[in-house]
Amino acid sequence: MFSNEISRRAFLKYCGGIAATLGLSTTMVPKIAEALTSDGRPPVVWLHFAECTGCSEAFLRATDPGVADILFDVLNVTYHETIQAACGEKAEHNRDQTVANHAGEFICIVEGAIPTADNGVYGMIGGRTMLDIAQTIIPQARYTIALGTCAAYGGLPAAAPNPTGAMGVKDAIGVDTINITGCPPHPMNLVSCITSYLLNNQMPPLRTDGRPTFCHGSTIHSSCTVPHACMQGYNCKGPNTYNNCHTALYNQESWCVQAEHQCIGCSEPGFWDSNAPFYNPMWMSMFSTYRPTAVPHEDQKTASCTRCHGSGIFEEEESYQEDPRRFQQAMHHEHNVRLSTNQGCANCHPEAPGGTTTGGSYHDD
């Protein structure tokens, strides 16, 4: 189905990437290569539940070498319903046989949340509920890796009002899980986690929430490499998001904030609900501390600033309605305060602290 020829150069480069992700010296590359090609690799059973398959899609789109090769030559994946050739009863038989023959030895990777409402009837595979499949297979694994935020915490399937009762694997089944989170998670984090197990016969150190410290040990904000300025003022969730996408990069190219999009905290518990709204218009980020109830003025005629900053107070203060210039002055003052404290201002105004130029004033009028 896939080519299983990985060049030595590409394979060693990949092993070097694993070493870097785990924070290991390059002297460990030969040992990593040996571990990934040994005959003692445990089989991997990869289950799919309530999800969009985006975690697998991100994994399969990785390069240098192609992860389709890594799946079979390195991870020893024996069951993955999205890409395997077998289907139906034959595929399920192969899965169940692997579980029976390697109980207590195999690694179970779970992608997606598990619907639990009404005994799990809202998620069915082959006439069985996802809940039943999970309860049968997962407890027999040596380790269970919850891949992606849906599997770890429920993610989008568990978003309010959550009529299916979707939950993360640990909450639904009651077993400890290694949580590699993100929407989607970085493919290298999964391979690195399993590689650490092959090297040390145990999983890497974990946080109290079950996430590996090598990839979820620090926040995006703590070592953000955004080339322009901090986007925290635009609802960036980086200060509270523990992930390594800013150092691992997707396909060694880029990540969300480098592409000039704020971090939406996709690796954190409560994503989606607790992180909404993902997009915070500039006027709200500038104006909310001045008047939290601010809303855009319906006719946008009070001042040139209104397009960006809204005019909630214009509707409330009669003095502003009598003299729109007072409103304009108030907004200019607020804008200047924001510029001086760099609350995301440098993204539009290069003269702000952290911007690409210095000196001058944006407010010439």
**Do residues 149 and 271 lie in contact, with contact meaning Cβ atoms separated by under 8 Å?**
yes
Point out the catalytic residue in the list 108, 193, 245, 305.
245
| Catalytic residue status for 15 | no
| Catalytic residue status for 52 | yes
Handedness of CA 124, 126, 132, 135 (dihedral sign): negative
Point out the catalytic residue in the list 15, 150, 215, 305.
150
| Catalytic residue status for 236 | yes
> Distance between CA 362 and CA 365 in Å, rounded?
9
| Catalytic residue status for 266 | yes
| Catalytic residue status for 224 | yes
Q: How far is CA 344 from CA 22, 220, 259, 274, 294, in A?
A: 32, 16, 16, 22, 18
> Distance between CA 69 and CA 60 in Å, rounded?
9
> Distance between CA 151 and CA 145 in Å, rounded?
9
Point out the catalytic residue in the list 15, 256, 305, 345.
256
| Catalytic residue status for 150 | yes
Q: Provide the token pair at 341.
A: 């404290």
Point out the catalytic residue in the list 108, 236, 305, 345.
236
| Catalytic residue status for 221 | yes
Point out the catalytic residue in the list 15, 55, 108, 305.
55
Point out the catalytic residue in the list 108, 224, 305, 345.
224
Point out the catalytic residue in the list 183, 193, 305, 345.
183
| Catalytic residue status for 305 | no
b/e per residue, 202-223, with b = 16+ CB within 10 A?
Answer: ebbebeeebbbebbbbebbbee
> Distance between CA 292 and CA 232 in Å, rounded?
17
For residue 185, the 8-state DSSP code is P
Terminal CA-CA length for the chain:
66
Point out the catalytic residue in the list 193, 215, 266, 345.
266
| Catalytic residue status for 108 | no
Point out the catalytic residue in the list 15, 108, 193, 230.
230
Q: Which residues are catalytic?
A: 52, 55, 150, 183, 221, 224, 230, 236, 245, 256, 263, 266
